[in-house]
Structure 1
Amino acid sequence: MVRIERELTHLVRRAQRVQLHTDGPVEPLERSAYTILGFLNDEGPMRNGALAARLYLDASTVSRHVASLQQAGLVTREADPEDGRACRLRLTSAGRRAVAGTRQVRRNAVRELIGSWPIDEQDTFAALLERLNAGLDGRVTEAMAGGAPSPSGASPDRSAATPDEAGSKEVLRA
């Protein structure tokens, strides 16, 4: 456990310091914008409150971020067909391009780090990361509900935590 804790601490510290740069035409999105836009890209239009719940954030926090994204032309608001008084957030074509470009930059960075690993090790690494994230999701879900974390750490909605690879089993083959 000591080694795992140390390596996770090192990983988080390095990940916070690393800025993904590209020499290409795409400037990667910053983390909060990428997370919000990734959900809208993967899940489709949704209300601000629903997005906030999926991200485990306060609706006012998401609203502030969405206002910036809307001003940048990456998100638009539309009437909710189920309730005309409410609005849904929808990704614009510029928003979809920004998500796609950022995903490519991120995948390239991962490819540089582990692309030389054998495919079976990449698959194992991906499976272990999925399992770790599922455990973290379970703890967040329990904390948000005001209870203690479940021993298994299972999350009822795994898609809520994976805007980058929603449902994809791809590792680095693309």
Structure 2
Amino acid sequence: MKISINTGFIRSALALMVIVMCAWITSVQAQGTPEQKNKEIVLKWLNNFWGSKYNPAIIDELATPDMILQYSLHKPRKGQADIKDFMKKFRDAFPDLAFEGAYPLLADGEYVIARWIGGGTHTGTAFNDWPVGALPAATGRKMRFTGTTVFRVVNGKVAEEIGLDDGLTALMQLELVRPVK
């Protein structure tokens, strides 16, 4: 008994299978990993919340309703309204306030770590959210400092932003603390 194999059909089927697999791989790569998506969310947050072109709408877009914002230089903040109020006062006091990423973001699961640098010039309103005292209006003092922040992203929104900053440097630059002589 003679068996006939249609090699043209086999070649066509294999070619179709390769095309489908390539399309699937491209689709998976385009979607990105959960960590990559979280890094993109944090980068958008950093650029629009802490960057030079502040956009208050970013809080409604990317912050959970009960988001926690905590740094050593400021009182802890909780919730969108509290965070909006904090940033309005901070930017009213430091109109040129701007921070930017200093290194690539690192991510593991829902956590994203960012190192940053930035600051601003106190040319605006008085500001009293420092742990060591208040600044009167428009001192003209500049601050520039660094820090590291751990973000927690849940369901595409920032739930926590907890950072450690070089607050001593900023407070010395603003003349709120003085070096020991």
TM-score class, shorter-chain normalisation, is: under 0.3
From the CA coordinates, give the structure whose radius of gyration is larger: 2
Q: TM-score, normalised by structure 2?
A: 0.25
Superposition TM-score, scaled by structure 1 size: 0.26
User: Quick check: which one's strand share is greater?
Assistant: 2
